[in-house]
Amino acid sequence: MSIERKMLRVLKGEAVSPPPIWMMRQAGRYLPEYREARKTAGSFLDLCYNPDFAVEVTLQPIRRFGFDASILFSDILVIPHALGRDLRFEEGRGPLMTPIEADEIERLDPSRIHEHLAPVYETVRRLRAELPAETTLIGFCGAPWTVATYMIAGHGTPDQAPARLFAYRHPTEMRTLLDLLADCSADYLIRQIEAGADCVQIFDSWSGVLDEASFHAYCVRPVQRIVGKVRKTYPDVPIIGFPKGAGAQYEGYRNITGVTALGLDWSVPWNQAKRLQAEGPVQGNLDPLRLVAGGWALDEGVKRILSELSDGPFIFNLGHGITPQTPIAHVERMIELVRGTAG
């Protein structure tokens, strides 16, 4: 008997009722069991690189909520880390790196990235073996632009001004960096698929800060490069692109990059979301703060999304990652609403 993975049916273009549901950052600090595992593991990177811990925290939200998909627990910055850049995480500050200089880019060495990332591939293999057969396993990477912003600034910034300025001052070096990150990321995704990932997602969390020309050069072109490389090895594996904050520039993104589905952030208007869905599967797009608030705000948000998008190929998700202060009861309510089991 064939295994039915609802999310893969949607990614093939089918409308499924009720739609499959998962959450970005679904393994994370809003769960008490995650916080316990994090405490035991030590550093955040120890959590990412130790398959015992990474498998455990990836499985936690599946055990608790029964989501239709599970996403590998890791971080988008493991690629620059594998390229030899320093990386650490501080509570309240997030990821911290030594900012890269223009003349250092050509010296980045990708020859040992798979050796460095071997624990991640082991995690994927173990997850596919341990997850319920009907649960879709999602691999992922950060998009080159978003990863580059952290490498250049050394930390997160409100508008990624350091990376934008770097790109204007050093366009050749910026292109070299983005091409290298695209090639490494494509290889990384290919290895995740080999290990058992059913589909992959490319997170471009900072695409919304760029003007039109820069969006095409720094977001679209590198993702197109990743997709092309992955497709040569795995032509039929679905790829979800999530250019958060892209606004009007969502239009045409799928056709140019070649991604299978679009992740929509919560700011996308309904008329635009429906146009994008007419071209293929979409995923999203509840405002994470509606999930924090609960009550009428949550109910209204979920019901509106379902009424607007459920007739086409659609995966229910948030418009960005779940926040640490989210009450578990609100997640349970959201799932009940999506699956039609709410009282």
**Domain 6-339 in this protein, CATH class:** alpha beta
- The mean pLDDT of the chain is 96
Q: What is the pLDDT of residue 341?
A: 84
Burial 129-166 (b: 16+ CB within 10 A, else e): eebeeebbbbbbbbbbbbbbbbbbbbeebeebebbbeb
Q: Each residue of 30-61: pLDDT tens digit?
A: 999 999 999 999 889 999 999 999 999 999 99
Kindly report the pTM of this predicted structure: 0.97
- Least confident residue range of 87-101, 111-125, 224-238, 272-286: 87-101
Supply 21's token pair: 């549901």
Tell me what pLDDT residue 132 has.
Answer: 96
Give pLDDT, residue 228: 98
Q: What is the pLDDT of residues 127-158, one digit of tens each?
A: 999 999 999 999 999 999 999 999 999 998 98
Answer for the pair 68, 44: CB distance below 8 angstroms, yes or no: no
Is the model's pLDDT at 2 over the cut of 60?
A: no
According to the model, what pLDDT value does residue 92 have? 77
Task: Examine the pLDDT at 1 and tell me if it is beyond 60.
Answer: no
Percent of the chain that is helix, strand, coil (3-state, to 5): 55, 10, 35
Give percent of the chain with pLDDT exceeding 90: 95
Q: Give the position of tokens 């509840």.
A: 286
What pLDDT, on the 0 to 100 scale, is given for residue 3?
72
What digits encode the pLDDT tens for the residues 231-249? 999 999 999 999 999 999 9
Question: Catalytic residues, which ones?
Answer: 25, 29, 38, 75, 150
Report the pLDDT value the prediction gives residue 343, as an integer from 0 to 100: 65
Distance CA 23, CA 212 (A): 29
* Averaged pLDDT for residues 212-233: 98
Which residue in the block uniquely carries the two structure tokens 């695209």?
182
Tell me the per-residue pLDDT of 289-300, one tens digit each, with 9 for 90 and over. Answer: 999 999 999 999
Task: State the Cα–Cα distance between residues 165 and 144, nearest whole angstrom.
Answer: 16
Going by C-alpha positions, the residue among 312, 320, 310 that lies closest to residue 290 is: 320
Tens-place pLDDT, residues 157-192: 989 999 999 999 999 999 999 999 999 999 999 999
